Amino acid sequence: MIEAVGLTKVFGRKVAVDDLDFVVRPGTVTGFLGPNGAGKSTTMRMVLGLDRPTAGTATVNGRAYAELHHPLREVGAVLDTRIAHPRTTARDHLRVLAVSHGIPVARVDEVLDLVGLTEAARERIGKFSLGMRQRFGLAVALLGDPPTLLFDEPLNGLDVAGVHWVRKLLRGFADEGRTVLVSSHLMAEVQGTADRLVVIGRGRLVADARTADFIADTVGVRVRVETPDARAFVDALTAAGADVDQVGTSVLLVSGMERHAIGDLAARASLVVHGLADEVASLEEAFLDATESSVEFRGKPEWNHA
Ligand SMILES: Nc1ncnc2c1ncn2[C@@H]1O[C@H](COP(=O)(O)OP(=O)(O)OP(=O)(O)O)[C@@H](O)[C@H]1O
């Protein structure tokens, strides 16, 4: 379990992490989300003992990172993979880490195989592509077979097969009972993988919730109705107090009325229904809604051609 209590980090006059409380539970993949500069990396660095909190605590299974007896065997992390010396090979780097942390050297070839880098084991890390560096970072994280894993943007630079593979890997770790915290800006990936979310904005907690609840509570549930009687349907629904968005000549998105009630209304009013289904809102939509007021770096709405 990873726990933050009153976690705060101030750099000069910048409050990067502001009184954060959250818990990341075992057996779940927890997505760690926030706009650029929200404080995700800083939080992860404090969990890993790479930055000292200005106030509060960040612990793994109740202890600060510095107090862990076998850190690599207790917590694995993929943060910035540029920390390895570019002239060293992946295999040598991992062997040094294994020896210095009391991990059997045989584990090195095992993890290289697991991340698909066996062929590149003797190449210099400096020559690795972005995707290979991500795989190498994963190998470092998995070296001590730790029960707690932190990944900062692990999908960056991976090809389609790589993204699919990491998604299955994360799911597998959680199903084995490990604690998995993963930051990402790829909302569709997070929606498909994360059971829970910790969402932050400008260093503060925005939500700590199940993914499905976060979406439902932020955007609400809508029902998609397909009907050739769109106009009459809109009138009947509006008269019954529902909110209706017509998104095509024969498609309506309805909020404020449940699916079965819409079906009953259609039957009573003799309106034809071709389709009736709950519409799952996207995490992207919910995230944009929830963090709207905490976005620091915003692009212009459109290019100025003048
Ligand atoms: N060493 C540092 N010195 C000064 N300011 C820092 C330092 N590290 C981070 N910050 C600032 O703290 C804030 C949070 O940065 P952080 O990298 O944690 O955000 P993030 O959520 O990981 O962002 P992104 O999604 O863009 O990677 C930013 O304003 C950043 O400029």
At 1-40, the pLDDT tens digits run 999 999 999 999 999 999 999 999 999 999 999 999 999 9
CATH 3.40.50.300 describes domain 220-280: no
Cα 32 to ligand 1 centroid, rounded to whole Å: 15
Cα 202 to ligand 1 centroid, rounded to whole Å: 10
Atom 7 of ligand 1, nearest CA residue: 11
Residues of the chain with CATH 3.30.70.100: 220-280
Cα(13)–Cα(33) distance, rounded to whole angstroms?
A: 24
Q: What is the pLDDT of residue 30?
A: 98
The length of the chain, given as a count of residues: 306
Residues of the chain with CATH 3.40.50.300: 2-217
pTM: 0.84
pLDDT in tens, 244-272: 999 989 999 999 999 999 999 999 999 99
Q: Which residues contact 25 (CB under 8 A, 6 or more apart)?
A: 1, 179, 196
> Starting from the edge strand earliest in sequence, which strands make up the sheet with 28-33, in order?
75-78, 148-152, 179-183, 28-33, 196-201, 204-210
Fold of 2-217: Rossmann fold (3.40.50)
Q: Give the closest residue to 17 by CA, choosing from 46, 41, 39, 44.
A: 39
Going 181 to 182 to 185 to 190, the CA torsion angle's sign is: negative
Determine if ligand 1 sits within 6 Å of the CB of residue 39: yes
Cα 40 to ligand 1 centroid, rounded to whole Å: 8
Query: What ligand 1 atom has the least distance to the C-alpha of 200?
Result: 21
